[in-house]
Structure 1
Amino acid sequence: MAENSAISWTRHTWNPWMGCTKVSPACDGCYAEALMDKRYGKVQWGNAPRVRTGAHTWNDPFRWQRQAEKDGDRPFVFCASLADIFDNQVDPQWRADAFEVMRKTPNLVHLLLTKRPQNIIKLAAEAGGLPTNAAIGTTIEDQTRADINVPALLEAKAATKPAFAFLSCEPLLGPIDLTALREFNPSAKPWINALSGAVTSGGVPRNRSECGINVSTSWTSPTIDWVITGGETDQGGHKARPTHPEWFRSLREQCARYRVPFHHKQNGEWVPLQANDGEWPTDLPGFCRLSTSGERIDAGWPMQKVGKKFAGRELDGVTHDAFPKVPA
């Protein structure tokens, strides 16, 4: 799938600038920091100036546009794999310039993945509005982050009218139920299904100021159009945390039930430990962590670290490569 990107869910990656500040547990093992800060020293991570890339990089989308026109194709472009396109520490003019490039490359579908979906509406408006060929997505690593970020993404979808909205559940660090989000109020009954747009029974829907979505006593939410999953890999001094395959399976089944495209990028560094007869020892999900001395501590389902290449991309013997449909 990838022409100049090793990421299975995009053909191209484009970085108008580099650098970011960590905002969630998913950032702990940031590959961009490990590569561009720790290894190459091209940019300092954290509360430091971002670095705008050169003219050659900014010209790449126009080259891809010409090829897409020739092929009659609409390739996906992951924008800012070494940054966050909706980072509010970035010069606003850079984002406006990047959006203008997107508008001038209509055959390309620009994937704007952010860990800051709460910034999308405001920063997109300041940059002249979201390009019609841009899709918006957010990273969610566990239920806590899903309850916070998914409603914000859905509100942004309603306000900015993107090509589609998507989720990157990578690194997946815990189980996630996208059909029962409980944003800002863990004690309340589930109230929104992000895959169908339906509101669950129980409780009175909260108002816009409380949950970020304009609701009434009877309403339907925008929906998520694509779900990507993946396990964590080692990055510099950060050692990958295990992802239980049952967490992947749950999201796969949720997507299948509501006919949402599901793409499984990779399993990460870990796989469940098999018994001598080749069967899994239990059906209960769990995890394995490392002690301070580097020894494995089993909790729940024992896991073994085998490396990214050996763990592979298959889930239950199947490679999941679904993509959302976009207009011609």
Structure 2
Amino acid sequence: MAQKSEIEWTDATWNPMTGCTKVGPGCDNCYAERFAERWRGVDGHPYSQGFDLRLWPDRLEQPARWKRPRMIFVNSMSDLFHKEIPRDFIDRVFDAMERADWHVYQVLTKRSSLMRNYVAKRYAGRPVPTHIWLGVSVEDAAHTSRICHLQDINSPARFISFEPLLGPIGMVDLEGIAWAIVGGESGPRARPMRSVWATQIRDICQRDGVAFFFKQWGGARPKSGGRLLDGEEWNGFPWAIVPRSILEQLGA
């Protein structure tokens, strides 16, 4: 089912598929895998298959049943652009997002080239609808090519999640990016994040006009280290890209 989210930068989660496989060091201590594997073999549980990939066609119409506008994180427990997800099912997910267009959808992937190629075909010659936000996860400098793939997409609603931030990103170009989220890793094997890595991204965001959101330091639990960076909370949000009709419904 769609769930109210405890993630600071969204309102709810929607998982028309669950399960994934690892593609980089940011996946090593995956919270979603850790949660799902707790239920492997439990008959009748949604995660009785653990973190194996599973499609849920009966969840495709869930956003349409949600009448109040929300920020919806798509696939918090998977990756929409996993190579084993059939293209026609990805089409059905996008169809559902386009029909229920009073929500904002936040689609986040590590498979950035597959996302770029898909949306280039689906929206050939036109931009992605502004209520569908497309983002990539970047954990360190070795994976900044995902940013370039994102910048190739014809959309003003592009965002990056630097979480878990595992190393310095370097002096990247964030031109055309609307929003950046930074967070340290949490969980029993959390790897520490250095403040200089986070402040470098903040400074680049300020240089390039990107809204900057500092989510957490991380630790054994998500809230272990708090949310202050240089003594402040950073709650930047890209209000300028929220469609006017949705802003009006939200009362913002």
In the superposition, the TM-score normalised over structure 2's length comes to 0.84
Residue 76 and residue 163 in structure 1: after superposition, are their counterparts in 2 closer, same or farther (change >3 A)? farther
Pick from 103, 106, 110 the counterpart of residue 115 of structure 1: 110
Conservation of the 8 A alpha-carbon contact between 1:165 and 1:224: yes
* TM-aligned CA deviation for residue 136 of structure 1: 1.1
Q: Say what the alpha-carbon RMSD is for the aligned residues.
A: 2.1
Residue 151 and residue 131 in structure 1: after superposition, are their counterparts in 2 closer, same or farther (change >3 A)? closer
Pick from 203, 226, 229 the counterpart of residue 253 of structure 1: 203
- CA–CA distance in structure 1, aligned partners of residues 80 and 195 of structure 2: 30
Partner SS for 1:33:
helix
1:53 is matched with: 56
- CA–CA distance in structure 2, aligned partners of residues 98 and 162 of structure 1: 18
Matched to 1:176, the amino acid is I
Matched to 1:151, the amino acid is C
2:232 is matched with: 318
Gap regions ≥5 residues in structure 1: 69-74, 180-192, 196-222, 270-305
The alignment of Structure 1 onto Structure 2 pairs a total of residues equal to 230
Residue 101 and residue 229 in structure 1: after superposition, are their counterparts in 2 closer, same or farther (change >3 A)? same
Conservation of the 8 A alpha-carbon contact between 1:92 and 1:126: no
Residue 30 and residue 307 in structure 1: after superposition, are their counterparts in 2 closer, same or farther (change >3 A)? closer
- CA–CA distance in structure 1, aligned partners of residues 181 and 174 of structure 2: 14
- CA–CA distance in structure 2, aligned partners of residues 54 and 103 of structure 1: 16
1:10 is matched with: 10
- CA–CA distance in structure 1, aligned partners of residues 16 and 192 of structure 2: 32
* TM-aligned CA deviation for residue 258 of structure 1: 2.4
* 1:22-41 map, 5 Å: 22-36=22-36, 38-41=37-40
Q: Which segments of structure 1 move beyond 6 Å, counting only runs of 4 or more?
A: none
1:278 is matched with: none
2:65 is matched with: 63
- CA–CA distance in structure 1, aligned partners of residues 221 and 186 of structure 2: 8
Residue 168 and residue 258 in structure 1: after superposition, are their counterparts in 2 closer, same or farther (change >3 A)? same
2:181 is matched with: 228
Conservation of the 8 A alpha-carbon contact between 2:217 and 2:224: no
* TM-aligned CA deviation for residue 125 of structure 1: 5.3
Structure of greater Rg: 1
Residue 93 and residue 128 in structure 1: after superposition, are their counterparts in 2 closer, same or farther (change >3 A)? farther
Structure 1 residues 268-326: Cα deviation after superposition (integer angstroms, max 9, x where no partner): 11xxxxxxxxxxxxxxxxxxxxxxxxxxxxxxxxxxxx754331112122221111122
In the superposition, the TM-score normalised over structure 1's length comes to 0.65
Is the counterpart of residue 141 in structure 1 residue 139 in structure 2?
A: yes
